[in-house]
Amino acid sequence: MRDVAIIGVGETAFGELWDYSFRDLGIEAGLKAIQDAKVTAEEIDAVYVGNMSAGKFIDQEHVSALVADYAGLADMHLPTVRVEGGGACGAVALLQGRMAIASGMHDVVVVGGAEKMTDVGEVQAAEILSSTADQEWESVFGATFAGLYAMMARRHMYEFGTTREHMAAVAVKNHKNGALNPVAQFQKEITLETVLQSPWVAEPLGLFDCAPLSDGAAAIVLCAMDQARRYTDAPIRIAGSGQASDFLALHDRRDLTTMDATVVAGKRAFAEAKVEPRDIQVAEVHDNFTITEILAIEDLKFVEKGKGGPATMDGVTALNGKVSVNTSGGLKARGQPVGATGVAQAVEIVRQLRGEAGKRQVVGARRGLTHTLGGTGATAVVHIFERGA
Amino acid sequence: MRDVAIIGVGETAFGELWDYSFRDLGIEAGLKAIQDAKVTAEEIDAVYVGNMSAGKFIDQEHVSALVADYAGLADMHLPTVRVEGGGACGAVALLQGRMAIASGMHDVVVVGGAEKMTDVGEVQAAEILSSTADQEWESVFGATFAGLYAMMARRHMYEFGTTREHMAAVAVKNHKNGALNPVAQFQKEITLETVLQSPWVAEPLGLFDCAPLSDGAAAIVLCAMDQARRYTDAPIRIAGSGQASDFLALHDRRDLTTMDATVVAGKRAFAEAKVEPRDIQVAEVHDNFTITEILAIEDLKFVEKGKGGPATMDGVTALNGKVSVNTSGGLKARGQPVGATGVAQAVEIVRQLRGEAGKRQVVGARRGLTHTLGGTGATAVVHIFERGA
């Protein structure tokens, strides 16, 4: 299979961007990535767009053609593909772009992710997020997205002694990292007290256990490795990718405290990359809720099952800890424009592996990982990235 | 690039299927295709689902994980991908599935397409279809999907002398074919008079110039050609694929009477397959409106530009004419469950190339083509299929 490299990255600011439309977001991120890669429009073979729910957020389907058009690429008549997999869409799009190049059909592909969430009210936005869970067996009975994750948190507390303080430590760490990221939605440190005293969203998850609603976009230019040196001295190689699905509804799963999709996706990605969790210096993992990061670092085998909370508290996943997790601030502090997430995570890893992460640079970062979830874990995608030799 | 073959096909009935849910549709089509291919669950590497707007039609995103789950595949933890490109989603999904195998990452992939449109009212359904046009510059000002196609029809009449009778001839032919297709939504012949006397939807398009709203699903099992003989004596090879985009809004296009995306996608597919339009015996082309089929057969070079209407009237595209177009009945008579369209078209071509099309069998069909549109032509996908040597 042909090796694929990332040769350019770009992203918008993340936040409540009321002066940006969806198309503005897609264009800005895409053009930044294209400029960073120094490719011309003529060299681009295809455009992939990860997007969860533009149909419901902005009443617009067919957003891949939209973004290519408004980025000035309509005359090139490029193939454009929108990919959706709940909150994992950006990561799934990246995998599809990788396959398109690996197949030999394309050489240079732009992969973007975007979501414009704040044009609808907060209740409506919460309902839209819930539509990635099982509508007929969960959402329709009133289970919110936060409510479903709260059940996982409660079970994790029961089985492993995880505390609210352990979960709060995730938020504190990610806000601390976000304060060092100039595009983060929240660039402000918080304390354990802030999290613990925040109002319930779904007990035991308080407001500061939850990632925000956000607008934003991120983009990446992929290129066949055998051509990447034409564009950059620092191609970042996709060393391994794994994707897995699971039962859509929580009640059908084997276990509430392990996401099998993460476990399987991780195994597949590590096997392809021929590395172990200990070989990863920096990881962006899905932290739509604080409990989610704890599950992720356990299921990816960065820490022992059940020890995710104490490990976070002990700084194992802090900046320049054993493995630096969510140096961007994660979904929690960088923000959570759903369709953009998987791509934005990869952008952060590329910055870290290039040594361009500024104040949040992980010392000696040679290999990074992204982990992205759809729904309550019915989709999981793991990518492993390496600095080119 | 590794050759890819179709080794199994399946589909549901098409129509107003009030006793079927979206998941019922996906499961039925998928399981039929899997049975037809004689693959086991363990042999499947991934699931792709073409779907336009489940978020809006049934309030459920993340439908690829949903379908895999309810088809009993959750324990396999397969990668599942939903693909959207307006009405072309099924054809785009097929291309992604092809690339996944061509890349060497997968060997056996199930590609499904499904839409459940009749759970919402007709006005709401029309609004949802319009969300694949440009919401900010077309739909929001009241342009309906039919209205946009009506402008193309009017301009084609003005430039080339196309008449309402020419367009009506498309509907008559497709209903005649649909009457021979046991899964078609309309299995009843109609006359030119029926079409001409039908009430306006958007002048010059009457009710019988328009494809219906439908529920339905179709599925295909793809396999690396080098392994296909394990499963079937009659693998159908994907000989060429082309996809192209265009300006999303009609007013930005070079010409209202030529769909550049179709022209470019067709050229790409013919070039890869190393054949000419005259080498195609059977084609399924996008006929969401009668004018659309006329544009398609012109832009694919089956007939001269401007002559699509007279050619249809003269039987050039009739069953066992020079090229048999829409032998399934097309979107017009087989039905138009949007996300399913591209896959259902491919199912029909496979049946024709296998010699299993019953009363609508095209004599001597060796090579077939599908053409699928998204929006008002901002996405076009063309696939060319051949009987294995």
Mutation for B interface: A2, A61, A115, A141, most B CBs within 10 A: A61
At residue A389, the pLDDT reads: 62
- ipTM, two decimals, is 0.97
Bridge partner residues of A289 (DSSP): A210
- Residue-wise pLDDT for B216-266, tens only, equals 999 999 999 999 999 999 999 999 999 999 999 999 999 999 999 999 999
Q: Identify the CATH homologous superfamily for domain B133-211+239-387.
A: Thiolase/Chalcone synthase (3.40.47.10)
3-state DSSP of A50-114 = ECCCHHHHCCCCCHHHHHHHHHHHHHHCCCEEEEEECECHHHHHHHHHHHHHHCCCCCEEEEEEE
pTM: 0.98
CB-CB neighbors (< 8 A) of A60 in chain B: 131, 135-136
- Identical fold at A4-121+214-228 and A129-206+237-387? yes
CB-CB neighbors (< 8 A) of A69 in chain B: 245-249, 252, 378
Interface list for A 169-208 with B (CB within 8 A): none
Residue B103 has pLDDT above 80, yes or no: yes
Q: Where are the domains of chain B?
A: 4-121+214-228, 133-211+239-387
Burial class (CB in 10 A: 0-12, 13-18, 19+), A255: exposed
Interface list for B 302-331 with A (CB within 8 A): none
Measure in Å the smallest separation between the Cα of B111 and chain A Cα atoms.
14
Bridge partner residues of A218 (DSSP): A11, A113
Interface list for B 39-68 with A (CB within 8 A): 47, 52-53, 55-56, 58-62, 64-66, 68
At residue A388, the pLDDT reads: 73
Q: State which fold the B4-121+214-228 domain adopts.
A: Peroxisomal Thiolase; Chain A, domain 1 (3.40.47)
Q: Which residues of chain A have pLDDT under 70?
A: 389
At residue B388, the pLDDT reads: 73
- Residue-wise pLDDT for B66-82, tens only, equals 999 999 999 999 999 99
Interface list for B 225-284 with A (CB within 8 A): 243-249, 252, 260-261, 264-265
At residue B106, the pLDDT reads: 98
From the list B342, B77, B388, B90, the residue with the least C-alpha distance to B227 is: B388
| Number of alpha carbons in the 13 Å side-chain half-sphere of residue B241 | 24
A&B contacts, CB < 8 Å: 209
For residue B66, give the chain A residue with the closest CA.
A248
Is the Cβ pair B55, A58 closer than 8 Å?
no
Is the Cβ pair A252, B100 closer than 8 Å?
no
At residue B389, the pLDDT reads: 62
- Residue-wise pLDDT for B271-297, tens only, equals 999 999 999 999 999 999 999 999 999
Q: Looking at the domain covering A129-206+237-387, what would its CATH class be? A: alpha beta
Residue B270 has pLDDT above 90, yes or no: yes
At residue B49, the pLDDT reads: 98
Mean pLDDT score, B44-52: 98
For residue B64, give the chain A residue with the closest CA.
A85
3-state DSSP of chain B = CCCEEEEEEEECCCECCCCCCHHHHHHHHHHHHHHHHCCCHHHCCEEEEECCCHHHHCCCCCHHHHHHHHHHHHHHCCCEEEEEECECHHHHHHHHHHHHHHCCCCCEEEEEEEEECCCCCHHHHHHHHHCCCCCCCCHHHCCCHHHHHHHHHHHHHHHHCCCHHHHHHHHHHHHHHHCCCCCCCCCCCCCHHHHHHCCEEECCEEHHHECCCCEEEEEEEEEEHHHHCCCCCCCEEEEEEEEEECCCCHHHCCCCCCCHHHHHHHHHHHHHHCCCHHHCCEEECCCCEHHHHHHHHHHCCCCCCCCHHHHHHCCCCCCCCCCEECCCCHHHHCCCCHHHHHHHHHHHHHHHHHCCCHHHCCCCCCEEEEEEEECCCCEEEEEEEEECC
